[in-house]
Amino acid sequence: MADRYQKLTSSGPGALLAKRLGLPRPEPLERHRPGRPVLSGPAVVDGAGGGRLTGPLRELVDSLPSAGRADGEPPAALVFDATGITDSTGLRALHAFFHPRIRSLAPCGRAVVVGTPPELARDAREAAAQRALEGFVRSLGKELRRGATAHLLLVAPGAEGAVESTVRFVLSARSAYVSGQVIRVAGPADPAAAPADWERPLDGKVAAVTGAARGIGEVVAETLARDGARVVCLDVPGQAEELRAVAERIGGEALPLDVTADDAGDVLAAHLRERHGGLDVMVHNAGITRDKTLGRMDAEKWDAVMAVNLTAVERLTERLLEADGDGGPVLRDGGRIVCTSSMSGIAGNVGQTNYAASKAGLIGLVQALAPAVAGRGITVNAVAPGFIETRMTAAIPLFVREAGRRMNSLRQGGQPVDVAEAVAWFASPCSGGVNGQVLRVCGQSLLGA
């Protein structure tokens, strides 16, 4: 659904009126298009003395495709290596780097700070300084304007060679609706995971996406196919016609399936084994809402939401990970599992005790399962969308819808492709250093942690 307010304030008269009245003016966000360079302009990279990543980051950023690096051009990215900060006095380096540059950051620019996970610090002072980076970045994200975003990457010692996929994501238009987030990167890097073509990192991979007939699931399927995957599109039999249309359009295949059925896992496993020999990426996107306040919610509404949103994910995942006769597990070594959680699962929401419980449950599943399968090179992560412009949010009453759109640092709703780009980043073979994490795709919502 079109954001008429954003369209109005993007026009000359509308922008002037909004400025005079002190109203928010959402910046049209730059989003990825095939062939678009990672950087929209020059990047400035520096770091505190003794940082582990200043040199590697400079080398990496210099190697990235850029739309221009002309002298005097506003920076498209400000990247600061804070791994060399070992106590609170060293935090002054953040001010020294960002203060003279932050107001010149280009529209839809990126501010990125790289640190060390505080729990891996050498002593309490270093841990305090590294934990301080999170408060700095979250606050900076709320100060930035004109569509700019801020990110914190916490890179474990030894994982310096595993950051490229994540750096590409946070610096590019693929992360347009992600801001104020903390991303942890562990290692070591897998040299064999580097793609021949960064535009198609999923070439030769097989992906399955539930809830793919429409909405976010449809766009996730499209995005994974764009990145080279052969996509198996799943949805309920009642959506079979729409599902087949999506699969045909992206060169994938349709598998109508009720994920809550007792034999759903066996049906999916057999299809993947027979048609593709296995699976590389499983995206659990299917989800439903049955909203009522708890005192008015009957057991049927509770059970329906829990069955689709959480129990089906548990069962399908267990089936794909278990040994399948002599062929081994259906999900191959180095596989990726991505779940669609929600900001409701983080912050809660009135009338959604069932939905919020199911989405919070997915976060618990991700965090418990990730270390259990890491030995096979498999990662398990989740995206947590905020207000995304879909048919579901279009049905929300006007004033509630407008509040949802504006209550984030970017002052607008996201698009389904914003969630899909985050899923594709998690799904990449190059993202093996990112595991057990929940990425909020919410424009840095003012609600939730």
317 neighbors 369 (Cβ within 8 angstroms): yes
Q: Which residues contact 253 (CB under 8 A, 6 or more apart)?
A: 230, 231, 232, 233, 247, 275
157 neighbors 52 (Cβ within 8 angstroms): yes
Which residues, in sequence order, are bridge partners of residue 44? 78
Our answer to whether residue 5 is catalytic in this structure is no
Q: Which residues contact 295 (CB under 8 A, 6 or more apart)?
A: none
434 neighbors 184 (Cβ within 8 angstroms): yes
Alpha-carbon distances, residue 33 vs 49, 147, 397 (angstroms): 37, 17, 32
Neighbours of 203 (CB within 10 A): 14
Determine the distance from the C-alpha atom of residue 48 to the mean position of all C-alpha atoms in its chain, rounded to a whole number: 28
61 neighbors 75 (Cβ within 8 angstroms): no
Please identify which of the residues 355, 387, 425, 426 carries the catalytic annotation: 355
Angle between helical axes of 240-250 and 215-226 (0-180°, round to 10):
20
The conformation of residue 445, written as its DSSP 8-state character, comes to B
Helix (H), strand (E), coil (C) string for 101-161: CHHHCCCCCEEEEEECCHHHCCCHHHHHHHHHHHHHHHHHHHHCCCCCEEEEEEECCCCHH
Q: Is beta strand 379-385 parallel, antiparallel or unpaired with respect to 253-256?
A: unpaired
223 neighbors 230 (Cβ within 8 angstroms): no
Which residues, in sequence order, are bridge partners of residue 208? 232, 282
d(CA 427, CA 443): 21
91 neighbors 132 (Cβ within 8 angstroms): yes
d(CA 196, CA 323): 31
d(CA 28, CA 107): 9
The residues annotated as belonging to the active site are 355
